Amino acid sequence: MQKNTPQTPNLTDKKIEEIGKIFPNVITEKEDDQGNTVKAVDFDLLKQELSKQIVEDDNERYRLDWPGKKRSLLKANTPINKTLRPVREDSVNFDTTENLYIEGDNFESLKILQESYLGKVKMIYIDPPYNTGKDFVYRDNFKKSKAEYEEELDIVDEEGGKLVKNTDTNGRFHSDWLSMMYERLLIARDLLKDDGVIFISIDDNEVHNLRKIADEIFGEENFVGNVVVAKGTTTGQDANLLGSSVDHMLMYAKSSDDFILGGLPLNEKDKKRFSSEDSNGKYSTLQFRKTGTNDRREDRPNLYYPLIAPDGKEIYPIGPSGYDSCWRTNLKTFKKWESEGMVEWKEDNDGNFKPYIKYYLEGRTKQVSNLWDDIEGNKKASISIKELFDNKIFDFPKPIELVKRSMLISNADDESIVLDFFSGSATTAHAVMQLNAEDGGNRKFIMVQIPEETDESSEAYKAGYKFITDIGKERIRRAAKKIEADYKDKLAKRETPLDTGFRVFKVDSTNIEDVARHPSELTQESLIDLVDNIKPDRNPEDLLVEVMLNSGLELSLPIVRKEINYKTVFFVAENSLVACFDKEIDESLVDEIAKVQPLRVVFRDASFKDDKDRINLENRFKSLSPDTVVSVI
């Protein structure tokens, strides 16, 4: 019986819980006045989340700290002036595909995608640098002011490179790696759907630290498991060290309340259990008496009751050693199952009847273990990519089956978006296309990879692949052809064609020129140069993509180009967005566009035929299409 207390509810605990839903990383632990450990808010971290400056503090608390952590948090919350530019010549089926391949710094890419893909990604898989002392990590390219952080942290090398080898002699060996991962995972979490999930491959070198920062970012309560993956080979053998035969893969849900763990297909051995069959199909049985933990009468006294066996005897749930046990559910549910033909009575060797419940093969899956030793290892993955390229093009690719299984247990079904922002050789893209071919799905992938140079002595470089991104794009093209050949018969039965294309984008500076000037800087000549605020090397499709990103539209949406009154007009997702960036736009073109009742229309600020056309723009839409949002760039 609950005891009533003369107190109002503890609103502080409730508010802490609400804050934790928005900022799980600011929830920590502390001791109360009685010495009990309780949940609390790290107000300094919360201030940092809401601040545009670094917040200093030196209070002790339970958490993982390192030099640069606050800077990473500030960086994750600071806007950048970057965009994506389409690269049609590298793309496949640009006009129809819904898959994306992005070349550039993955931190910048994630920031750019934030508006369009906020809460839309079902699954993220990443295979980041393992920080073994030989890996390259991203240099921090954030600028506090024009040069302060660059000078302080020695941000770019002489060639302006974004990657640097993180050797174990570096005084910030762990800190640099943690900062790189922390700021990227902070943004990645926001991209996940409420029922989304992230998988992070890692080895023994940083799994302990990765677990701590992931607990902080995603919330410890959203940890799903640590999958141990057999590599197929043993590495790192040393006289005083154990050789490593496994890698780890940490799995976190965006929200454990919304995420449902999927099962795996049954193998032939599993299917043999379903040896019986009735009008509903093949089935196996499970005894109705509860087994395992909490199976005693005292655990669930309401589930201890008599049943009438086929021979008329009254039976109770009795455990193997004669103790009073309990049934799996109440009598009402048992009667319902019995009326539906779901109960089967079996006679034991002593002539006693016991009840069993049927469960069917159709739709049955297998519970997932955290030991994955039954998929192709890294060595087999290397052989597979070598066969695809007829050469050893890429070292240490991940197995396709690893990513496919991750998609299955994450319930990344028909239209799900799968993101990999350490794309490497594009194993994830290959896995998405292959699983779609196998089960008829329409999953979409987003690959992000920095154009890291290949070693000049490598087979990849000699074969003409100067950058890792060249390998990734070519792998998708070759994998697509192989999948189309291997699954030809199955693909012919699909309602919609298998999407094996991809739109390529490159991270670049914004298309908009900074034309703001102090009056003292202006001359008659400079005023003429500042009439157009679009950079001279940018084309209309560049502008369209930036407008789509700023409007929160997915880059996979269909884009149609039409000629209206001799001007090029873009239609995104029919009339979700209509844009024209040609010059000499007049009232007649505006009227033609207004007829389609677009949700949003965008023009170039300096492209109108004369001032009256620019001034009358909004009035024309108010008259002809009043619900259209009109803007100029």
**Which of 225-239, 282-296, 303-317 bottoms out in mean pLDDT, i.e. has the lowest?**
225-239
**Range ranked top by mean pLDDT from 88-102, 286-300, 351-365:** 88-102
For the chain, what percent of residues have pLDDT higher than 70? 86
Reference 406, options 123, 120, 100; nearest CA is 123
- Note the pLDDT of residue 364: 80
DSSP-derived secondary structure letter, 289:
B
- The predicted-structure confidence for 155-164, as pLDDT tens digits, reads as follows 344 444 566 5
Mean pLDDT of 126-155: 53
Q: How far apart, in whole angstroms, are the C-alpha atoms of residue 432 and residue 411?
A: 13
* 346-350 CB contacts, 8 Å cutoff, 24+ apart: 346/285
470: how many CB neighbours lie within 10 A of its CB? Answer: 19
pLDDT given for residue 476 in this prediction: 97
Closest to 230 in 3D by CA, of 373, 342, 348 = 373
Residue 146: the pLDDT is: 34
pLDDT at 150: 36
**Token pair recorded at residue 145:** 């002011």
Residue 152 CA to residue 67 CA, distance in Å, equals 13
Task: Among 52-61, 249-258, 321-330, 425-434, name the one with the lowest average pLDDT.
Answer: 52-61
pLDDT at residue number 83: 95
User: Is 154's pLDDT higher than 60?
Assistant: no
Report the alpha-carbon angle 44-147-512, nearest 5: 95
- Token pair in block for residue 488: 């030809």
Res. 521 pLDDT band, cuts 50 70 90: very low
- Indicate whether 32 pLDDT > 50: yes
Residue 60 or 143, more confident: 60
Alpha carbon distance 429, 483 (integer Å): 12
Question: Which residue type is seen at 125?
Answer: Y
Contacts for 388 with CB less than 8 Å, ≥ 6 apart: 475, 478, 479, 482
Helix (H), strand (E) at residue 191: helix 173-191
Q: Which residues does residue 37 pair with via DSSP β-bridges, in sequence order?
A: 31
H or E element at residue 333: helix 331-339
The residue with greater pLDDT, 188 or 149, is 188
- The residue written with tokens 């390529």 in the block is 504
Structure tokens at 464: 């003409």
Sign of CA dihedral 449, 129, 221, 123: positive
CA distance 187 to 113: 10
Across the range 26-34, mean pLDDT stands at 77
Q: How do residues 383-400 score in pLDDT, each as one tens digit?
A: 888 889 888 888 778 899
| Helices within 96-195 (DSSP H only) | 106-117, 148-153, 173-191
Confidence of residue 316 (pLDDT cuts 50, 70, 90): very high
- Band (pLDDT 50/70/90 cuts) for residue 60 is low
Q: What pLDDT sits at residue 153?
A: 34
Q: What are phi and psi for residue 266, nearest 5 degrees?
A: -75, 140
Cα separation, 92 vs 499, whole angstroms: 10
CA–CA distance, 148 with 53 (Å, rounded to integer): 13
What pLDDT sits at residue 190? 95
Q: What mean pLDDT is predicted for residues 244-267?
A: 90
Asked whether the beta carbons of 393 and 249 are under 8 A apart, the reply is no
Q: What is the distance between the alpha carbons of residues 531 and 607, in angstroms, rounded to a whole number?
A: 10
Give 512's DSSP letter. B
Percent of the chain at pLDDT > 90 equals 56
Backbone CA torsion sign across 104, 107, 112, 117: positive
Mean pLDDT over 240-256 rounds to 89
Predicted confidence (pLDDT) per residue in 173-189, tens digit: 678 899 999 999 999 99
Can you tell me which residue has the tokens 């530019």? 85
DSSP E strand stretches across 279-325: 281-287, 307-308, 314-315
Q: How far apart are CA 355 and CA 339, in angstroms?
A: 14
Distance, in Å, from the CA atom of 307 to the CA atom of 330, rounded to the nearest integer, reads 11
Structure tokens at 161: 């490179």
Distance CA 478, CA 361 (A): 37
Least confidently predicted of 241-245, 323-327, 501-505: 241-245
The yes-or-no verdict on residue 88 having pLDDT over 60 is: yes
Residue 4 pLDDT > 70, yes or no? no
Quick check: 487 pLDDT over 90? yes
φ, ψ for residue 174, nearest 5 deg: -75, -40
Question: Considering only CA atoms, which of 163, 155, 104 is closest in space to residue 135?
Answer: 163
Token duo for residue 68: 């640069």
| DSSP annotation string for 427-479 | HHHHHHHHHHHHH----EEEEEE--PBPPTTSHHHHTT--BHHHHHHHHHHHH
pLDDT digits over 190-210, tens only? Answer: 999 999 999 999 998 889 999
- Between CA 580 and CA 543 the distance in angstroms is 10
For 220, which DSSP code? G
pLDDT at 374: 86
Among candidate residues 33, 162, 207, 118, the one with its CA nearest the CA of residue 417 = 118
Sign of CA dihedral 107, 109, 110, 115: positive
- Confidence label for 269 from pLDDT (cuts 50, 70 and 90): confident
pLDDT interval class at 236 (50, 70, 90): low
> Is there a contact between 180 and 187 (Cβ–Cβ < 8 Å)?
no
Closest Cα partner for 247 from 215, 211, 205?
205
pLDDT at site 152: 36
Q: Which residues of 224-259 are buried (b: 16+ CB within 10 A; e: fewer)?
A: beebebbbbeeeeeeeeeeeebbbbbbbbbbbbeeb
Tell me which amino acid residue 136 is.
F
pLDDT at 530: 47
Quick one: tokens of 593?
Answer: 């566009």
Domain residue extents for the chain: 11-63, 80-196+387-507, 268-366, 513-632
In 3D space, the residue among 220, 353, 362, 221 whose CA is nearest the CA of residue 279 turns out to be: 362
Token pair of 530 as six digits: 């500042």
- Fold (CATH) for 80-196+387-507: Rossmann fold (3.40.50)
Mean pLDDT for the chain overall:
86
